[in-house]
């Protein structure tokens, strides 16, 4: 039985920090009891490991934490580098607490289908209930603890966001000769540039990387991060670069950034922003990214859409009422009807023994796309499986989003990445790792100065701030 007691800053709904006293008591086999200020706070089952925090980065998600639908107060921080207080060693921690991450003997349907980051029952380190890395100790799922001794300590603090950036590149893999743009060169955009530069060198794929930045200093910074060239978007209108890039990675955190990306991309936009705002009538754009869904033009070929590594067959198809009735290929199980009726089917025998989601959705309007993403306001379930596709069948009209899809182009999304893959690429590309760390990390602060550092991180000119635990 292990027990640690400590003080840490809780983040509250009014965007403030208060000091709280925590106790963790338990063990890997028996589970853990977490108390806060002497009261029961959280009970964790088996499969969690006690680690001591060394460094933790402040992320844009931390800045927007009070707007997310998860309980507060909480110890924030998910970009964690930690050590084992007993055996030593340095680790980074994947953020999702799932049955796969805990090593549960009986995984749920999502973990069994290779979608652990979409496990409905998951907690998320420093975001959803699980105390995060702004405190001196964390409880990490045993399979989420990844050795990081082969890379420098400060580089390790960037593994979590770098893995998310690399995941975008692996998902929308560039082709030989592609002209690629990254729009938005803040924390995430800078890491996408670094990931593209490392991926290009390791893969030997010839492609160009252009950074689209707001301001001359950000443009200069983007070139240092690995871009071949940079455009100051304060001096250039997006319309002058219409259809100028094969692939555009959008990381602005704003609807305007995506609108610009649609203008400039001639094949694909990869969307990373989760700003919570509607976009040309589409209300659930953020949820599209959370579920890693793709928007694609309808065709007989896109009916077979799946991610490259997935070994599966599309069998279940949902078609919204406005789409034509001849939407499915032979042998597919097609349901056509209102979204709520489709949602009621997910728990029925029609989906017994498989992931309780349709493989593909088909829509003819932004309203129908929204209905597929979130058919029921009472829960967060999509009709379509995570990493599935929503196919648009219709004309663009005067809606730029629908026009983009109707012209044969597509939007893909991604969320969390593979830490093992990220570390391996950084080890293989030490120059990229050194540049990334040197130019992205601008400040460090001790844990006692967290409130001040958090306020500083809100500055639009600020990049990455690390919180350091010295004890």
14-39 CB burial, b ≥16 within 10 A, e <16:
eeebeebebbbebebeeebebebeee
Question: In this structure, are 314 and 446 located in the same domain?
Answer: no
Asked whether residue 314 is domain-assigned, the answer is yes
Q: Is the pLDDT of residue 243 over 80?
A: yes
326 pLDDT band, cuts 50/70/90, is confident
Per the structure, the complete domain to which residue 29 belongs is given by 2-162+418-468
Query: What integer pLDDT is reported at residue 462 of this predicted model?
Result: 79
Q: Is the pLDDT of residue 275 over 90?
A: no
Residue 292 and residue 408: Cα distance in Å, rounded?
20
Mean pLDDT of the chain: 94
Question: In this structure, are 335 and 424 located in the same domain?
Answer: no
| Phi, psi angles (nearest 5°) of residue 70 | -125, 155
Q: Which tens digit of pLDDT belongs to each residue from 333-377?
A: 999 999 999 999 998 999 998 999 999 999 999 999 999 999 998
Question: In this structure, are 392 and 424 located in the same domain?
Answer: no
Query: What integer pLDDT is reported at residue 330 of this predicted model?
Result: 74
Total residues belonging to the chain: 471
Report the pLDDT averaged over residues 433-454: 94
Whichever domain contains 463, its CATH number is 3.90.180.10
What is the number of structural domains in the chain? 2
Query: What integer pLDDT is reported at residue 471 of this predicted model?
Result: 61
Query: What integer pLDDT is reported at residue 92 of this predicted model?
Result: 98
Report the pLDDT averaged over residues 260-278: 93
Q: Is the pLDDT of residue 212 over 80?
A: yes
Percent of the chain residues topping a pLDDT of 70:
99
17-21, 324-328, 421-425: range with lowest mean pLDDT: 324-328
Q: Is the pLDDT of residue 378 over 90?
A: no
Asked whether residue 98 is domain-assigned, the answer is yes
Question: In this structure, are 428 and 306 located in the same domain?
Answer: no
Report the pLDDT averaged over residues 383-394: 96
Q: Which of 443, 369, 452, 423 is nearest to 163 (CA)?
A: 423
Asked whether residue 220 is domain-assigned, the answer is no
Question: In this structure, are 336 and 462 located in the same domain?
Answer: no
274 pLDDT band, cuts 50/70/90, is confident
Question: In this structure, are 446 and 305 located in the same domain?
Answer: no
Question: In this structure, are 332 and 448 located in the same domain?
Answer: no
Would you list the DSSP string of 272-294?
-------BTTBS-HHHHHHTT-E
Asked whether residue 229 is domain-assigned, the answer is no
Query: What integer pLDDT is reported at residue 30 of this predicted model?
Result: 96
Question: In this structure, are 364 and 426 located in the same domain?
Answer: no
Residue 441 and residue 453: Cα distance in Å, rounded?
13
Asked whether residue 256 is domain-assigned, the answer is no
92, 81 Cβ separation under 8 angstroms: yes
302-311 CB burial, b ≥16 within 10 A, e <16:
bbebbbeeee
Question: In this structure, are 8 and 157 located in the same domain?
Answer: yes
Asked whether residue 369 is domain-assigned, the answer is yes
Q: Is the pLDDT of residue 167 over 90?
A: yes
Indicate the residue among 394, 413, 432 that finishes a domain.
413
Report the pLDDT averaged over residues 80-106: 94
């Amino acid at each position: 039985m292990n027990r640690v007691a400590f003080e840490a800053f809780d983040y509250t709904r009014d965007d403030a920090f208060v000091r709280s006293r925590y106790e963790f008591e338990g063990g890997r086999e028996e589970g853990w009891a977490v108390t806060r200020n002497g009261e029961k706070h959280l009970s964790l089952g088996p499969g969690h490991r006690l680690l001591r925090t060394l460094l933790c980065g402040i992320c844009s998600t931390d800045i927007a934490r009070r707007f997310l639908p998860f309980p507060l107060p909480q110890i924030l921080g998910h970009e964690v580098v930690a050590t084992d207080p007993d055996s030593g060693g340095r680790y980074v921690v994947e953020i999702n607490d799932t049955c796969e991450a805990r090593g549960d003997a009986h995984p749920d349907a999502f973990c069994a289908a290779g979608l652990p980051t979409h496990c409905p029952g998951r907690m998320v380190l420093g975001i959803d209930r699980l105390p995060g890395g702004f405190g001196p100790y964390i409880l990490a799922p045993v399979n989420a603890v990844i050795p990081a001794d082969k890379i420098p300590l400060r580089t390790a603090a960037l593994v979590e966001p770098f893995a998310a950036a690399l995941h975008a590149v692996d998902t929308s893999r560039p082709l030989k000769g592609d002209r690629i743009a990254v729009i938005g060169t803040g924390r995430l955009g800078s890491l996408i540039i670094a990931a593209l530069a490392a991926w290009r060198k390791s893969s030997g794929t010839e492609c160009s990387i252009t950074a689209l930045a707001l301001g001359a200093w950000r443009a200069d910074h983007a070139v240092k991060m690995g871009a071949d060239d940079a455009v100051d978007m304060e001096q250039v209108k997006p319309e002058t670069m219409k259809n100028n890039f094969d692939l555009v990675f959008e990381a602005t955190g704003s609807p305007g950034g995506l609108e610009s990306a649609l203008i400039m991309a001639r094949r694909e936009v990869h969307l990373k922003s989760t700003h919570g705002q509607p976009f040309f009538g589409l209300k659930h754009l953020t949820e599209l990214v959370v579920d890693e869904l793709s928007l694609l033009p309808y065709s007989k070929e896109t009916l077979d859409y799946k991610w490259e590594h997935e070994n599966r067959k599309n069998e279940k198809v949902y078609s919204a009422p406005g789409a034509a009735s001849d939407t499915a290929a032979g042998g597919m199980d097609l349901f056509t009807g209102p979204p709520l009726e489709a949602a009621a089917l997910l728990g029925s025998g029609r989906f017994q023994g498989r992931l309780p989601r349709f493989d593909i959705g088909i829509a003819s309007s932004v309203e129908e796309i929204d209905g597929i993403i979130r058919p029921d306001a009472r829960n967060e379930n999509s009709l379509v499986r995570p990493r599935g596709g929503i196919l648009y069948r219709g004309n663009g009209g005067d809606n730029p989003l629908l026009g983009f899809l109707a012209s044969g182009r597509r939007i893909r999304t991604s969320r969390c990445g593979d830490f093992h893959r990220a570390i391996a690429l950084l080890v293989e590309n030490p120059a990229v790792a050194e540049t990334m760390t040197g130019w992205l990390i601008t400040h460090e602060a001790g844990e006692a100065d967290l409130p001040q550092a958090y306020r500083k991180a809100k500055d639009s000119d600020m990049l990455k701030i690390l919180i350091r635990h010295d004890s």
